[in-house]
């Protein structure tokens, strides 16, 4: 329904990778499907193992379960629709579907920023105050920290999504991306978006950079504490407890920063799609791999779990 120089949009078209040849799209579908399945299985396994093994009932693995659950949800928001555009060429998404996808993208993205900051604080307490760690990070405290990590996503997602989708849209409804992200949808708006863009920048600084600064502060304190440890063995042991988290944080923030903080002149739609794949598709797959390969406790727990499963299977008549 057209009104003046704008159109009331009922659906959007996700351009995704439609400019690529059909053969390349089929190859991408197979690649992303394998990554998607590995992501679901890897993160689900982390959740099950850390719940089943009593040795992994510490605060660190409580937050890791939250991260794995978040990564599963984050993938479910983005990847199934992307696979549909590649396989069935189903490139349309309803107005409500686009708004819903954007809402949960913001929600889980902000929650991940704060959850990574909470995990950094957990490592700070464990290394800098090891004797008080069980008291400080008791069950009640870690539940509050987890809730505090998830909560900021609600106001951010609600305000930004509601505000953006209240704008009038131009006659075109083609979103040049593989999901409903804010910048490509904003380009379709036929109105003055200056105030919204200021809000988006301020929101990014508050809800992305503040957790990043908290992580940097935590690891600065951790590094100072590790340097005071006299033995090399003690230093290596202390560093190994936080190296997996540090690697996960680096992957998430480097990829997302390259996507959203580059100058517009250097930020072509195709390059942004590739960068977006790194934190929406690849990083959620790498997180369980990093924690299982670089963490001896997780590797031992996986070994014990598989051993128990084999024993039960052999004992079953």
Is residue 4 scored above 70 in pLDDT? no
Q: pLDDT at position 245, please?
A: 85
Domain count, the chain: 1
Q: Answer yes or no: is 211 within a domain.
A: yes
Q: Answer yes or no: is 2 within a domain.
A: no
Two structure tokens written together for 80: 């199934």
Q: Answer yes or no: is 307 within a domain.
A: no
Q: Answer yes or no: is 317 within a domain.
A: no
E-state strands within 135-257: 174-175
Range of the domain at 112: 11-302
The stretch 236-247 carries a mean pLDDT of 82
Looking at the chain, the whole-number percentage of residues with pLDDT higher than 90 is: 48
Which of 150, 260, 264, 138 is CA-nearest to residue 205? 260
Two structure tokens written together for 151: 């909560």
Q: pLDDT at position 6, please?
A: 53
Q: pLDDT at position 123, please?
A: 92
Q: Answer yes or no: is 181 within a domain.
A: yes
The stretch 196-217 carries a mean pLDDT of 88
Q: Answer yes or no: is 175 within a domain.
A: yes
User: Coil, strand or helix: which one is 202?
Assistant: helix
Task: Give the CATH number of the domain where residue 28 resides.
Answer: 1.20.1070.10
Q: pLDDT at position 240, please?
A: 79
Q: pLDDT at position 1, please?
A: 41
Q: Answer yes or no: is 316 within a domain.
A: no
Prediction pTM value? 0.89
Q: Is the dihedral of CA 96, 98, 101, 106 positive or negative?
A: negative
Is residue 159 scored above 90 in pLDDT? yes
């Amino acid at each position: 329904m057209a009104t003046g120089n704008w159109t009331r949009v009922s659906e959007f078209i996700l351009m995704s990778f439609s400019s690529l040849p059909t053969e390349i799209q089929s190859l991408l579908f197979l690649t992303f499907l394998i990554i998607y399945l590995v992501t679901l299985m890897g993160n689900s396994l982390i959740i099950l193992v850390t719940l089943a093994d009593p040795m992994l009932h510490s605060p660190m693995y409580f937050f890791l379960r939250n991260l794995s659950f978040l990564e599963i949800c984050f993938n479910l928001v983005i990847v199934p629709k992307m696979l549909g555009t590649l396989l069935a060429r189903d490139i349309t998404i309803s107005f409500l579907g686009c708004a819903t996808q954007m809402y949960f993208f913001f929600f889980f993205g902000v929650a991940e920023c704060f959850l990574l900051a909470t995990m950094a604080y957990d490592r700070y307490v464990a290394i800098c105050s090891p004797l008080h760690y069980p008291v400080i990070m008791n069950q009640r405290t870690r539940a509050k920290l987890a809730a505090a990590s998830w909560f900021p996503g609600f106001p951010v997602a609600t305000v930004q999504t509601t505000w953006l989708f209240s704008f009038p849209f131009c006659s075109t409804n083609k979103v040049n991306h593989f999901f409903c992200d804010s910048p490509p949808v904003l380009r379709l708006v036929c109105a003055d978006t200056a105030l919204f863009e200021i809000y988006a920048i301020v929101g990014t600084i508050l809800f992305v950079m503040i957790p990043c600064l908290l992580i940097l502060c935590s690891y600065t304190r951790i590094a100072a504490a590790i340097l005071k440890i006299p033995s090399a063995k003690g230093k290596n042991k202390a560093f190994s407890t936080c190296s997996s988290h540090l690697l996960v944080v680096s992957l998430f923030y480097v990829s997302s920063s390259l996507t959203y903080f580059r100058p517009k002149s250097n930020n072509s739609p195709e390059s942004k799609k590739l960068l977006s794949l790194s934190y929406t598709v690849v990083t959620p797959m790498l997180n369980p791999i990093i924690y299982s390969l670089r963490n001896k406790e997780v590797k031992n727990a996986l070994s014990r779990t598989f051993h128990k499963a084999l024993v039960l299977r052999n004992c079953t008549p």
